Every structure is written in structure tokens, then in C-alpha cells.
Structure 1
């Protein structure tokens, strides 16, 4: 290495170190500036100093906006990039259902009491626990405080995470959980049933009566808290989450949106038939429901009740709700879905975004451009297929993407 090259290398390293040091100094200053808000929320100075001393940002997290770097999006969630057969995988459902049956017995006393007071079936509580952390076996990879501090500093939703960070400090100050055990997802969800700190304070329940709401170690507390969250979001006791049905041959898949709601009896009169000869009572037929066809006209069809959408508020994905609902059912019945999933292929996120933008331009789609082929995207796609005179299947395939691009 020549003397000139060596000097240049030293300058580059020094500048890089100075830049990183300055960035970390700004982060430290930002965290220090949150003390008045933390104090107002009830965080002690001792807790604040202890938990923020030496705290560093984690710039490898997704969903950050970093100066001088391309904005990073949230990682592709399995719920939105996998085809249903891969996400609601039979082997996973069967394994989790078997474990759920064992846990039903182990926690029967607590589950029976929680179900009696909340109206949320024990199997639904267990299914959420199973989906979120594999009944506690999944080791959450991140330090919650560091995640929330980083997202509050350079995340896309700074204000939300600023509040979550302060509430995480408050939880630590109350001594319910240690920092070491307060692990989280990249988005700041923590505990056996994956709560944000604000959800902990809104929905947390001290079911075991030890004076602490411990969703990290107390299974009864975690399950009761999950049930309470559903209740607070409108859970209706005694109502199924959905009914699998056989759709009529000429079904209009564009009606598969939450806005199109009819009594279940009306859907039945229009040709939808409950699978396996299931008979629905008059009370069940009077319940309002929406049509859900996760693979468009292919694969299973469902009439979804209010409780379906309550579970959806836990995780805004149709496949998540299908997984939780079906896993719940499988704990008491060995039967898989009556109609198999088709071997469909899922478009890449950027292709779905391209499709959404095109559908927005022609006035058929009014929801978010997010690359997720949910109910609204599938319905808009079906509306386009109708207008273009091509097969209406409400499924985002490469063929229909090419048709939309060609029409431009």
C-alpha cells in the first residue's frame, strides 16, 4: 500500500467512525429527551437511567428510514406472500392441534373459568398462543427496549413507538419482568401471546391473582389477556368464527369483501351449501356474515362472522385468522377443510403493488398500496376481470398482471 493510499484509508475510516459516533450521539440525545414524557407516564428516574444507559440503536431492523440509505420496508410476512396451502399447512395444524389438546387438559381449570367470564372458547385462546409463539417454544429474537427505541428514533411510525418505548420502561419499573426476559419481534410484540406494551396495559389480566400481569411466564395471565383483547375488540360469545361452505358454480367472487354482509340464511338461499351436510340452526342462519374466498374461486370458501373480524384485529391477515380459527376447530375435530387448497402460485409483493397501482388509477381499488393480496385487492381484481371480459377468478396471477399492464 502506498503512503497516499494509506492516508486515504485512514481518512475514510476516521470519517466513517465520526459519522457513526455522531449518529449514536444523536440517538443518545434523543433518548435523553424522552425523560419528561417517561416521568409523566410514571417511570422512575432510576428505571429510566438503568434501562437507557449504554443503549444503542439497531439499524439492522426492518421498517426504518435512515438518512442516506434507501427506506427499508417491513419484511414480507408469511401471511401475505405464501399461498394458503403453505401458510395453513396441514402438518403444522395437526402438530399444533395435538399439542393444544394436551394443553386443554393441563390448563383446563383456568381455561374453563376464562371462557366462562369472557365468552372466548378455550381453543381460540390456545390457537392464538400456538400461532404466535408455538406455545412458548419460539424464542423471540430481539431486546424489546432496543427495538422500540430504534423504531421511535428512525422508524416509519415514530410517534407510536415513542409511546410503546416509554410504556416498556414502565413495565420494567414495575418489576413484572426482567429486561433479559423481555424479548420481542422486530415490531415490538412481546410475551407468550405477543402484545405491544400499550396492549399490555389495555388488555392485560392478572388471572392467577399474584398481583402482577405476567404475560411472559404465567400461561393463565397470557391466555386471559388474549381473551380480554378479543372481548375489548367486540368478541361475541357463542358465535362461530366462520362456516366453510361450497360456493355455487357461478359465484361472483367480487362480493367477497366485508362491506357485503347478509344473513347466513340469505347466502344459503343463494346457493351456498355448508360442507359435510352440516345443518345450521335458525339462530345461526340469522347471523350476518361476509364471503371469504382466500384463493378467489379456487380452494375453500367461508362465510365469516363478526368474530372472524375480531380475530383479524389481532393480526390483519385473512390467512392468520384462518390458521387460528381452523387450529381452534381441530382441537375438537380431526377434520381438515372439506375443499382442498389449489396449487396456486403467489405473485411477488412488488408485482401485487404494480397491480394495486394500476387498479387504483382506473378507480377499482381504494385501499393501501402494500403488495398484499387481501380481500379488497382480490375484489378489485375481479372487477377488472369483469370489465376486461376475461375469466373472473379474483386471483392475482401472472396472466392477469400481464393483461393489466397491456391495457395501460
Structure 2
């Protein structure tokens, strides 16, 4: 073998051994970190036997999103469909129609439990069914990750270590109490588990034993899972008898920069300025305060969103998620598709939207997170920039706006 080849092979072997040693060192540090959490677990009431059994052989999963690993680029959560898809792709009519039909059948199957839920928490049965449908396709979707491994990894190497340290302790407590077997304790990459996707802390805050078997089982008991989802919404401020949103036709002169949560006006006032509802809105409903939501800027449907819209948003912060769940709830109740079709818009890459946010921050038009997500505040700030730059004001992150910002820099 030529000496150059031998040198190359030796270098590759040394590199592999170094990486292996580094991995072993990292895993040893992870094991030490987990062991250091025993006093906190003990204080939470977790038995030593459970702690040792469930953490024995536990390894980190460094492929998870949202990690901050030394020597590696931060792994973001930007691949979530809620933040990278255009509305027409996320709130897909074929998917909504299928889930609505399934939801109507499930409404009959679980009628007694849903009536009890609505009476007790004030949350419509259609709304909790919609949450169930969106989160796990009515239980047909099985979460791919081991919950304990997820929250342990996030506690050790995530960008929200303090939060996930608590989630790890509470996940151990769930196992210690026998609420679910480890093999059934599956979750998303962020640690949300069960039919309606709760973090361990949410399980303890909002869990409900609706079926009366003496335990809260959000993994196998549909009544428990739906009641727990309803209680979470109620605990976060759900207002009984109030719709989540109203679809409206925006007037031609509508200012899309008003589409922020801070701009609230009675629905009747929005209507007097030219916003036209597609269904009758009673006098009592017109007194409700609402914010303007235009998910595609001036393109596609417009909505007047009530306080309950923002309650659902605490379940998942994405506007598209709330639109999906709210609209699915309406469809289960018998409503039709959106009156205005989604526009054929394209979604810029997360890095491009983040570049826009940085520029908007520099010029004093934006003060929220730089996360590459074109949410309400980003869209309104884009509209303000478009006004100042003499561009068409559509509150949508387009390539033309990105190029204008680049030229301005």
C-alpha cells in the first residue's frame, strides 16, 4: 500500500476514534447530569426504584430539533409544518373534510362525555374533537419518540433547559404513579404526549379523570383526553358561548398593519368600517372585542378573532394551527369551507424571513423574536416597512420586499 494511502487511512482511523471518545465523554456527562437530578425527583415524590429503573441505560437523542450542542449549529424547530407551509397547504380542504366527517361520527359515539365536558368547562365538544383530530388524527397517529428520552435530552442539551428539567421530573412522576407504561409513553420531539398532546406539566395541571376509573389516562381514555383538553382551554381563559373567529370580506382600503392582537375593536365597529361578514352576526356578538387576522396579508381569507382565538393559541402558538382547529371545529358542527379561497402564495425560507425580521428590528418597526416565522407581528411590521419604502402594502414576506431591504442596507 502506498505511504500516502496508509497516512490517509491512519488519519481517518484516528478521527473516528476521536469522535467515538468524544461521544463516550458526552454520554458520560449526560449520565452524570441525569444522576444529579435525583434530589429534585425525590422532592417531587418519585421513588428511588422508579428513578433507577427508568434512567438506567437512558441515552440522549442528539437528532432532536431545538438543541444547542457545543461545536454544532443550533438546531431549530423551524421545520414544523405550522411555520413553513403556506395556509393552503396546512389548512388543506381534503384533510379538513376527512377529519370533519370523522369528527361527526365521533361526536355521536362520545355524545355523553362531550355533553358533560361542555356543561362542566364551557368548551364545545366540536372544539375538543378538533384538537384531538389535529394533534393525533383521532388517535391513529402514534408519536415516534420515547417521552422520557426526549425531555431528558432537552433538559441536558436543549435551548430551554430549565423548563425541560421540570418536565423530566414530572415525566418520571407520571411513570412512578403508574399512569402509563413506558412503552406507551410516546411523544413528539418536544415531549408532548397522549391523544391530545400534553407536556408532563400540563398533564398535572389540567388532567381530568372523566371516565371515573380513578386515574387520568390521556393515552387510552378518550373521555379523559378530551376533558383534559377542555380543562386546559378553560384554565387559560376560554369564554363559554363565544366563537373563536368570524370570516369577513375585507374592504379594498383595509389597512393590513392593523392585524395585531393589540388592536382590538368591537366587531360592530369593524363592520361599520367596511368589513363584511359571510354569516349573520347578532347584536350581542357585535359587542365582542376582536382583532383582525389576515394570514396571507391582503391575500386570502380575513378573520375577526375573539379572545377564544388567543386561548387556542396558547395550546399551539401558530396562527395556522388555530385556524386549522377552529375551522375544523366549525366543520364538525356543519359549517362549509372558507368563503374566500387561499391565494397561491409562496413561503420564503425561514432564513429569509429571519433576515427580514432583523432589518425590521434595526429600523425600529419590530421588537419581537427573530425566529424566521411570519406571524401576526412580523406581517404587520412588514406592512409598516412597505408603507415607508413606497412599496405595495400587502403585509406578506415576498422576495420583492427582501430585495428592497437588501438595497436599503
Task: Give the aligned partner of residue 406 of structure 1.
Answer: 407
Kindly state the Cα deviation for residue 367 of structure 1 after the two structures are TM-superposed. Answer: 0.8
> Given the alignment, which residue of 226, 230, 234 partners 1:231?
234
Task: Give the aligned partner of residue 79 of structure 2.
Answer: 76
Kindly state the Cα deviation for residue 406 of structure 1 after the two structures are TM-superposed. Answer: 1.1
Kindly state the Cα deviation for residue 12 of structure 1 after the two structures are TM-superposed. Answer: 3.5
The reply on whether 1:323 has 2:324 as its aligned counterpart is yes
RMSD after superposition: 1.2
Query: How many Å separate the matches in 2 of 1:340 and 1:17?
Result: 54
Query: How many Å separate the matches in 2 of 1:6 and 1:359?
Result: 51
What is the SS of the residue equivalent to 1:313? Answer: helix
Q: How does 1:13-52 map to 2 (within 5 A)?
A: 13-52=16-55
Query: How many Å separate the matches in 2 of 1:74 and 1:317?
Result: 12
Q: Residue by residue, what CA displacement relative to the aligned partner does 1:320-351 show, whole Å, maximum 9, x if unpaired?
A: 00000000000122410001111111111011
Query: How many Å separate the matches in 1 of 2:377 and 2:290?
Result: 16
Task: Give the aligned partner of residue 131 of structure 1.
Answer: 134
Task: Give the aligned partner of residue 177 of structure 2.
Answer: 174
The change in CA–CA distance for 1:9 and 1:351 in structure 2 (over 3 A counts) is closer
> Given the alignment, which residue of 116, 119, 128 partners 1:116?
119
Kindly state the Cα deviation for residue 5 of structure 1 after the two structures are TM-superposed. Answer: 5.8
> Given the alignment, which residue of 211, 216, 228 partners 2:214?
211
The reply on whether 1:383 has 2:373 as its aligned counterpart is no
The change in CA–CA distance for 1:257 and 1:10 in structure 2 (over 3 A counts) is closer
The reply on whether 1:288 has 2:289 as its aligned counterpart is yes
Kindly state the Cα deviation for residue 80 of structure 1 after the two structures are TM-superposed. Answer: 1.4
Task: Give the aligned partner of residue 314 of structure 2.
Answer: 313
What is the SS of the residue equivalent to 2:115? Answer: helix
Query: How many Å separate the matches in 1 of 2:327 and 2:10?
Result: 64
The change in CA–CA distance for 1:47 and 1:391 in structure 2 (over 3 A counts) is same
Kindly state the Cα deviation for residue 10 of structure 1 after the two structures are TM-superposed. Answer: 4.7
Q: Residue by residue, what CA displacement relative to the aligned partner does 1:2-54 show, whole Å, maximum 9, x if unpaired?
A: 66666555544433332221111111111000000000001000000000001
The reply on whether 1:299 has 2:300 as its aligned counterpart is yes
Task: Give the aligned partner of residue 341 of structure 2.
Answer: 340
> Given the alignment, which residue of 58, 63, 68 partners 2:61?
58
Query: How many Å separate the matches in 2 of 1:75 and 1:396?
Result: 16
The change in CA–CA distance for 1:369 and 1:13 in structure 2 (over 3 A counts) is closer
Query: How many Å separate the matches in 1 of 2:355 and 2:7?
Result: 49
How many residues align? The count is 406
Q: Residue by residue, what CA displacement relative to the aligned partner does 1:159-202 show, whole Å, maximum 9, x if unpaired?
A: 11000001000000000100000000011100000000000001
Task: Give the aligned partner of residue 354 of structure 1.
Answer: 355
Query: How many Å separate the matches in 2 of 1:339 and 1:4?
Result: 67
Task: Give the aligned partner of residue 262 of structure 1.
Answer: 265
Task: Give the aligned partner of residue 154 of structure 2.
Answer: 151
> Given the alignment, which residue of 198, 203, 218 partners 1:200?
203
TM-score (norm 2): 0.97
Unmatched 5+ stretches in structure 1: none
The change in CA–CA distance for 1:23 and 1:99 in structure 2 (over 3 A counts) is same
The change in CA–CA distance for 1:381 and 1:7 in structure 2 (over 3 A counts) is closer
Kindly state the Cα deviation for residue 141 of structure 1 after the two structures are TM-superposed. Answer: 0.5
Query: How many Å separate the matches in 1 of 2:376 and 2:8?
Result: 58
